[in-house]
Amino acid sequence: MPERFFAAQQCGFQAVEFLWPYAWPVDDIHHWLQDNNLELVLVNTPPGEGEMGLAAIPGKEETFQQQFRMTLDYASRLGASMIHLMAGQDSESVKASESLFIEHVRWASDLARSSSIAILLEPLNTRDAPGYLHTRIDHTARLIDDIGRDNVKLQFDFYHRQLMEGDLATNLKRHFDIIGHVQFSSLPGRHEPQFGEVNMPYLFDYLDELGYTGWIGCEYSAKEDTRQGLVWGTAYGLGSSSTPEPLT
């Protein structure tokens, strides 16, 4: 893991996401960030045991709260400004799951506020996350409105949105006021953007036009070699380093 932080810095990245850092001590991660002059921008709440999160699952309230406190401790001590709060698959009663989810997000956002951390809600897709509580962007936007906390934002992932509804530029503009973070990968395959059907450079430019000033996360798996696959990023100051061993 430490070599991944070094490789990110060598390839020109200024920040990283570390979705599930909980197997490593906070002090170790802090050193990896500091040694490579990197900012940690995002962590996820734990996914549970196949549930894709616990925030919307009745009967898991105590576990969710314990795990969120752990997540908040990692995020605040490591300087991360965002936590993706994972909902989990809906129960037999969607209404009960939504009610519980809203209650949990309010509780979590109030705790995170003192550390100036935003809570992100990300609608996933039904192919990779069947039964996930919220999968359409309008649904997530309604949840955010119902939650009523100004530090709860939308995590807009081009991959999930293209699979579920497309119309990416229109949806970026329509929901721009609640977007807190953006991620991308190609389709099909979830690889680098040069291998996909979506015009990512256009969307990056469009985010600039809209006035987006946040980070964009490269949430993809390299098709072959990670460094060689960064040819798409030369326009943004990213690229292959002279480090001989490939990042895998």
Above 50 in pLDDT, residue 109? Answer: yes
**Dihedrals phi, psi of 106, to nearest 5 degrees:** -60, -45
CATH tag for 2-236 (out of 3.10.50.40, 1.20.59.10, 2.40.50.140, 3.20.20.150): 3.20.20.150
pLDDT beyond 70 at 93: no
pLDDT per residue as tens digits for the range 32-82: 999 999 999 999 999 988 889 999 999 999 999 999 999 999 999 999 999
Least confident of 81-90, 177-186, 192-201, 239-248: 239-248
The answer to whether the beta carbons of residues 10 and 238 sit under 8 Å apart is no
Q: Which residues are catalytic?
A: 122, 219
Kindly report, residue by residue over 2-39, the tens digit of the pLDDT. 999 999 999 999 999 999 999 999 999 999 999 999 99
pLDDT tens digit sequence for 155-166: 999 999 999 999
Strand partners, 179: 154
Our measurement of the distance from residue 39's CA atom to the centroid of its chain's CA atoms, rounded to an integer in Å, reads 15
Q: Do 102 and 147 contact (CB within 8 A), yes or no?
A: yes
Residue spans of the domains in the chain: they are: 2-236
* 166 CB-near residues (< 8 Å, 6+ apart): none
How many CB atoms neighbour CB 121 within 10 A? 25
Q: How confident is the model at residue 96 (pLDDT cuts 50, 70, 90)?
A: confident
User: Is residue 183 pLDDT above 50, yes or no?
Assistant: yes
What confidence tier does 247 reach under pLDDT thresholds 50, 70, 90?
A: very low
